[in-house]
Amino acid sequence: MSVFSGRFLTFEGVDGAGKSTHIEWVCEQLRQAGIDVCQTREPGGTPIGEKLRELLLHEPMHLQTETLLMFAARNEHLRSLIEPALARGQWVVCDRFTDATFAYQGGGRELGLERVAQLANWVHPGFKPDRTWLFDVPLEVARERLSRTRTLDRFEQEQDQFFIRTRTVYLDHARNEPGRFKVIDATQSIETVRLELQADLKQLIALWGKGSS
């Protein structure tokens, strides 16, 4: 059970799954329900984290360096932003968290899940999101969506097998933690996805209330 009075909600999925389309909308839904929301992202969320984000997304580096920098940014993010917000009773909505490192570095880049688990147990032992929405799409859908968007970063430029391994780890984690994860079929229309999210949010608010009072 969390020691914090707030709640931690995360969005996950391979690049091109469409999760970013819904994050601000979910935050607005929570605000309309009277909940104090803190919206953030990984890597990033703090001045140091945003500088590390630029390096991670655009500079080639050794896999172990990449993974350590992910957790360096995460440690700063947790201590400076996430934990203080949760202690105040806010609901923190974060675009990616440690599930992404398991999926991308552990699975996609084939570092292995044990190395990632060791770092997670050091940086945030026992701490996990209260709810994780996993936006899931087949590879061909993700690729087609990416082809219509911005200039691709070095993760988005990876080959098909990288994305297949990444998606596999995400789905494995969702199967192993069905109480935390909600898998969203992100091939559906935006309207259908938001109806699904809205129904889940209503259940979560009814279950948890609106934070500290």
Binding annotation for ATP: 13-20
By the 8 A CB rule, do 78 and 4 touch?
no
The DSSP code sequence of 128-165 is: --SEEEEEE--HHHHHHHHHTSS---TTTT--HHHHHH
Cβ contacts of residue 183 below 8 Å, gap of 6+? 134, 136, 171, 174
By the 8 A CB rule, do 134 and 184 touch?
yes
Stated as kind and residue range, the H or E segment containing 185 is strand 181-185
Cβ contacts of residue 172 below 8 Å, gap of 6+? none
Numbered residues of the known binding site? 13-20
